[in-house]
A and B are shown apart, each in its own frame.
Chain A
Amino acid sequence: GAGVSQSPSNKVTEKGKDVELRCDPISGHTALYWYRQRLGQGLEFLIYFQGNSAPDKSGLPSDRFSAERTGESVSTLTIQRTQQEDSAVYLCASSLQGMANEKLFFGSGTQLSVL
């Protein structure tokens, strides 16, 4: 596609349920990132993929969070047993090679609300 696509755009769930968030990066981009943005706050790094591997998972807040990427394309972020503090916008971004001098292309995010 022309840009980074995320789905769903909004997700409302009950505390304790599992959710899956999807990201379709720009075709040909080997680097993929997940960030979390709480209301009024900056972007919090979660995980970085280079191809299908995740060399940096250091930002995942707990073992309830996991992510995978397949076919050097689509990525899924899974949150198990959701908690109210998980409510935030989850942003996915991609870049050509994952170099520090490259710009990131972001999707519009998934607004997650945990009731």
Chain B
Amino acid sequence: SQKIEQNSEALNIQEGKTATLTCNYTNYSPAYLQWYRQDPGRGPVFLLLIRENEKEKRKERLKVTFDTTLKQSLFHITASQPADSATYLCALDAGNDYKLSFGAGTTVTVRA
């Protein structure tokens, strides 16, 4: 069956450190993988998209890698700040043109 697994444990880190989140998938062959941020009581907000032929993508303090051999994406928040505290969701295309399947998310708390 198809699965998307993210860090099951919440991540608590000190301000200024790097947070690294994992997204592993099974029985998908995504052409694209996306990361979203969700704050309590709000809908997810798009952060980054990476294509299968891209190894790495950066946006400001965010970095995403995509390894189609390992079937894994890593999401890094560098120089983390308390404002980065949120739940981060990975999503990938389910093999058709329109549907995104989401992982359960990893909750990150950055303490000052």
| A-side contacts of B41, CB under 8 Å | 108-109
Bound form: Cα–Cα A109–B31 in Å: 28
Could you tell me if A106 and B43 are in contact, using CB atoms closer than 8 angstroms?
A: yes
Q: What is the CB-to-nearest-CB distance from B86 to chain A, in angstroms, rounded to a whole number?
A: 14
| CB of A19 within 8 Å of the partner chain | no
0/1 per residue, B61-101, Cβ < 8 Å to A? 00000000000000000000000000001010100111111
0/1 per residue, B21-39, Cβ < 8 Å to A? 0000000000110101000
| B-side contacts of A103, CB under 8 Å | 34, 46, 49
Given contact pairs A42-B4, A42-B105, A105 touches B46 in the complex (Cβ within 8 A): yes
| A-side contacts of B103, CB under 8 Å | 42
0/1 per residue, A1-16, Cβ < 8 Å to B? 0001000000000000
Bound form: Cα–Cα A107–B93 in Å: 20
Tell me the nearest residue of chain A to B105, going by C-beta.
Answer: A42
Interface residue count for B (Cβ, 8 Å)? 26
Partner of A42, one of B97, B98, B104: B104
| B-side contacts of A33, CB under 8 Å | 100
| CB of A51 within 8 Å of the partner chain | no
Bound form: Cα–Cα A107–B49 in Å: 20
Interface residue count for A (Cβ, 8 Å)? 25
Partner of A93, one of B4, B43, B51, B96: B43
Residues in A31-69 with C-beta less than 8 Å from chain B:
31, 33, 35, 40-43, 45, 48, 50, 56
| B-side contacts of A98, CB under 8 Å | 97-98
Bound form: Cα–Cα A99–B97 in Å: 5
Given contact pairs A56-B98, A100-B98, A91 touches B31 in the complex (Cβ within 8 A): no
Q: Which residues of B contact A (CB under 8 A)?
A: 4, 31-32, 34, 36, 41-46, 49, 51, 89, 91, 93, 96-105
Question: Knowing that A100-B31, A101-B31, A108-B41 are A-B contacts, what are 9 other residue pairs whose CB atoms are under 8 Å apart, sorted by A's residue number?
Answer: A4-B43, A40-B104, A41-B104, A45-B100, A91-B43, A93-B43, A103-B46, A106-B43, A108-B42
